[in-house]
Chains A and B, each alone.
Chain A
Amino acid sequence: MLDIRSLSKKFGAGNSAFHALKSIDITIEEGEFFTLLGPSGCGKTTLLRMIAGFEQPSGGQLVLDGKDIAMIPPNNRPVNTVFQSYALFPHMTVAQNVAFGLEARGATPSEVAGRVDEMLEIVQMSHLRDRKSSQMSGGQQQRVALARALAPRPRILLLDEPLSALDLKLRKQMQVELKRLQREMGLTFIFVTHDQDEALTMSDRIAVMEGGTLQQVSDPRALYDHPANRFVAEFIGDANFLAGVIADAKLGMAGQPPVPLPRNEAANGPVTVMIRPEQVVVGPLAKDAITLNGRIETLVFSGNDTQASVRLQNGETLRLRAQNNLHAETTLTEGQRLQVSLPLDALRLLPQEAADAA
């Protein structure tokens, strides 16, 4: 539905030019909840603003339903935005805000009235239709902004960190509600956030961005289980990175004898081995695991689980999470010497980057 083809954006010129986007390629499907995730300055907002029409690309195409829309001004694009600041018109009531997009396009008064009622119903704001935006809470403003952007029936709804100004509880609630709304309406959402939890819980697919480039595009599960590189592994969830060496389809690490890998996926040479803390097993495993000796340096109790930082014999540090189950076989104490096992199928071999040298 939306084809982003080698889209790039350069601010400034010459040597001082800043490449906000470097040749981005994504295809977004109809009815998809698609999230652009990345730290601030990664280019996700620039990409969103380009889809909305507020920025012109320096190169590449933006093809919506087979038509290049890159040069069409924002008011003529079948795309609406929920802004981070909500940007509600302060001199208008809730109903007038929601009606704005329809009236600007010259809809008939009865058409506008019907659609406004419908939208206010959907976001449960009918009872506040005559309020001014300055007399509403953040959550209420958020709902109005959503209704306003949905009213003109966009092909794609763009959401620019819409939940970042809400407190945690309200944010969780709005996440669920947004997702439900998107499913029910079958609408395509492009959602920008820097919050990985938000991205994982809501999205059908996530594009992780950094430095103006795409790091990985996939569904939340695959993103978490099979990160493409160290940046993605680190940005989404918690990760241990250990040094390893591949030789003849065997992985050697932490001074242990090399173990044959189930799948021969990497070339010979040094690799970065990634394992999520919750995949680390306390105690030895019978097979298909690498077992290492270490000593618990710190323990952090956090309710449902305990996080331990283990110093391995070769000096590397490994973090693990153990569920606080009453019937767990072992209890952990600080300073305790123990064996930890890394199941082979939980290990991810990442290409070694310059920054991994340390």
Chain B
Amino acid sequence: MPRSAIASERAVIRAETRRRWSLALPALTVITLCSILPLVVMVGYSFMEKGQYGNVEWGFSLEGWRAVILEKDFFDDSYIPATAHLTILGRSVALALLTTALTFVFGIPTAWFIATRSPSTRAFWMFLITVPFWTNLLVRTIAIQEVIRADGTLNRLLLATGIIDEPLQMMFTNGAVLVGMTYVYLPLMVLPVYAAIEKFDFRLAEAAYDLHASRFYCLRKVVLPLMWPGIAAGSILVFIPALGAYVTPRLMGGGRAMMWGNLIDLQFGQGRNWPLGAALSIALTLVVLGAMVWYIRRVAKGGESIG
């Protein structure tokens, strides 16, 4: 090919590339403004000095990050590991895992039920599942409070039927937090799993029965492996927001058992330690990122070994 032809071809490719980038511009703008920029601000804040009345002051400091890991001893000002943070992180992870597990247990049958209805009634059931999404999180949480508080619906029902003699203390316990979290995040599990089940070709289940598989064997070897992408997506969608959950633990747990989200809130509020708050936020993001990489790798491998 003559040199000029190569040059003109390159020019065409360049023009084409430019055109594609300009098409992607709106999306890139949104991503930059809403995702990358706040993240950059938070990373920046975490390396600044704290202001006396909150906010940050210009100047590089590792104090924020130091405080994530180490705290000053109350008596002799020496640094000791911030075990309280570790406990809170552990509690948050445990809560997020339990929430994911519970939404899984309740979400799979729910999704299965909806996906196996007739197409016309499916829309109705999906509508019921998505209704809570239109409602403010606070309102939803207070609604579930109303059900389980000392003189709430559930206690009154149990008292009236004579199953219990005095109201059960359900509010402000770890159980209450878990109930609230499961309730709030259930749709995030149901939706992707529903999509996976809806796509499932039930003729495959028929083929499995025909090939001497019991119902359980068919579920384990055919149905679950093919629903795996939906289950993985649902688990990630529940686990990530659950890890940073703030409103629900606070309202349902009464602030007694602090979660990572509450810890961050504290630093930006009463604690007036914005660099520490920012560092805690970024730390959580890193934990989530690590967990996701591990999970996706495991699922990808798992999918193959199952297959």
Interface string of A146-169 (1 = CB under 8 A from B): 001100100000000000000000
Nearest Cβ on chain A to B197's Cβ, whole angstroms: 15
Contact A93 B210 (CB under 8 A): no
Residues of chain A lying within 8 A (CB to CB) of residue B204: 87, 89-90
Contact B208 A91 (CB under 8 A): no
Partner of B211, one of A54, A91, A152: A152
Residues of chain B lying within 8 A (CB to CB) of residue A52: 210
Contact A74 B210 (CB under 8 A): yes
How far, in angstroms, from A87 to B294 measured CA to CA in the complex? Answer: 33
User: Of the 9-residue stretches B62-70, B217-225, B230-238, B280-288, which lies at the interface with chain A?
Assistant: B217-225
How far, in angstroms, from A53 to B209 measured CA to CA in the complex? Answer: 9
Residues of chain B lying within 8 A (CB to CB) of residue A81: 207, 210
How far, in angstroms, from A131 to B270 measured CA to CA in the complex? Answer: 61
A193 within 8 A of B: no
Chain B's closest residue to A91 (CB) is B307
A142 within 8 A of B: no
Contact A91 B226 (CB under 8 A): yes
A291 within 8 A of B: no
Q: How many residues on chain B are close to A (CB under 8 Å)?
A: 20
Chain A's closest residue to B201 (CB) is A87
Interface string of A169-185 (1 = CB under 8 A from B): 00000000000000000
How far, in angstroms, from A148 to B209 measured CA to CA in the complex? Answer: 13
A101 within 8 A of B: yes
Contact B307 A75 (CB under 8 A): no
Contact A104 B214 (CB under 8 A): yes
Residues of chain B lying within 8 A (CB to CB) of residue A45: none
Partner of B209, one of A73, A96, A105: A73
Residues of chain B lying within 8 A (CB to CB) of residue A74: 206, 209-210
A87-B204, A100-B221 known; A75+B212 contact, CB < 8 A? yes
Contact B210 A75 (CB under 8 A): yes
Contact B211 A100 (CB under 8 A): yes
How far, in angstroms, from A81 to B209 measured CA to CA in the complex? Answer: 10
Residues of chain B lying within 8 A (CB to CB) of residue A91: 225-226, 303, 306-307
Q: Which residues of A67-124 are within 8 A (CB) of B? A: 73-76, 79-81, 83, 85, 87-93, 96, 100-101, 104-105
How far, in angstroms, from A175 to B199 measured CA to CA in the complex? Answer: 33
Residues of chain B lying within 8 A (CB to CB) of residue A105: 212
How far, in angstroms, from A275 to B190 measured CA to CA in the complex? Answer: 64
How far, in angstroms, from A320 to B201 measured CA to CA in the complex? Answer: 48
How far, in angstroms, from A91 to B196 measured CA to CA in the complex? Answer: 14
Residues of chain A lying within 8 A (CB to CB) of residue B211: 75, 80, 100-101, 104, 148-149, 152
Interface string of A48-73 (1 = CB under 8 A from B): 00001110000000000000000001
How far, in angstroms, from A9 to B210 measured CA to CA in the complex? Answer: 20
How far, in angstroms, from A249 to B201 measured CA to CA in the complex? Answer: 61
Residues of chain B lying within 8 A (CB to CB) of residue A152: 211-212
Nearest Cβ on chain B to A220's Cβ, whole angstroms: 28
Contact A87 B206 (CB under 8 A): yes
Nearest Cβ on chain B to A203's Cβ, whole angstroms: 23
Interface string of B255-299 (1 = CB under 8 A from A): 000000000000000000000000000000000000000000000
How far, in angstroms, from A284 to B34 measured CA to CA in the complex? Answer: 94
Residues of chain A lying within 8 A (CB to CB) of residue B303: 91
Contact A87 B214 (CB under 8 A): no
How far, in angstroms, from A96 to B212 measured CA to CA in the complex? Answer: 15
Residues of chain A lying within 8 A (CB to CB) of residue B209: 53-54, 73-75
Residues of chain A lying within 8 A (CB to CB) of residue B222: 89
**Which has the most chain A C-beta neighbours within 10 Å: B203, B210, B222?**
B210
Chain B's closest residue to A93 (CB) is B307
Chain B's closest residue to A84 (CB) is B203
B213 within 8 A of A: yes
Residues of chain A lying within 8 A (CB to CB) of residue B214: 75, 104
Nearest Cβ on chain A to B254's Cβ, whole angstroms: 46
Residues of chain B lying within 8 A (CB to CB) of residue A90: 204, 226
**Which has the most chain A C-beta neighbours within 10 Å: B206, B211, B226?**
B211
How far, in angstroms, from A93 to B225 measured CA to CA in the complex? Answer: 13
Residues of chain B lying within 8 A (CB to CB) of residue A83: 203, 206-207, 210
Contact B207 A87 (CB under 8 A): yes
How far, in angstroms, from A105 to B213 measured CA to CA in the complex? Answer: 7
Nearest Cβ on chain B to A32's Cβ, whole angstroms: 21
Contact A75 B213 (CB under 8 A): yes
How far, in angstroms, from A91 to B208 measured CA to CA in the complex? Answer: 13
**Which has the most chain A C-beta neighbours within 10 Å: B209, B213, B221?**
B209
Contact B206 A54 (CB under 8 A): yes
A83-B203, A89-B204, A90-B226 known; A104+B217 contact, CB < 8 A? yes
Contact B225 A87 (CB under 8 A): no
Interface string of B96-120 (1 = CB under 8 A from A): 0000000000000000000000000
Residues of chain B lying within 8 A (CB to CB) of residue A96: 307
Residues of chain A lying within 8 A (CB to CB) of residue B306: 91
How far, in angstroms, from A26 to B207 measured CA to CA in the complex? Answer: 26
Chain A's closest residue to B213 (CB) is A104
Chain B's closest residue to A54 (CB) is B206
Residues of chain A lying within 8 A (CB to CB) of residue B213: 75, 100, 104
Residues of chain A lying within 8 A (CB to CB) of residue B206: 54, 74, 83, 87
Contact B207 A76 (CB under 8 A): no
Partner of A85, one of B203, B212, B225, B307: B203
Contact A104 B201 (CB under 8 A): no
A-B contact pairs, 14 of them (CB 8 A): A75-B209, A75-B213, A76-B212, A83-B207, A88-B207, A89-B222, A90-B204, A96-B307, A101-B212, A104-B208, A104-B212, A148-B211, A152-B211, A152-B212
Query: A87-B207, A93-B307, A152-B211 are known contacts; what are 17 more A-B pairs with Cβ within 8 Å?
Result: A53-B209, A74-B209, A75-B209, A75-B210, A75-B212, A76-B212, A83-B206, A83-B207, A87-B203, A89-B207, A89-B222, A100-B211, A104-B208, A104-B212, A105-B212, A149-B210, A152-B212
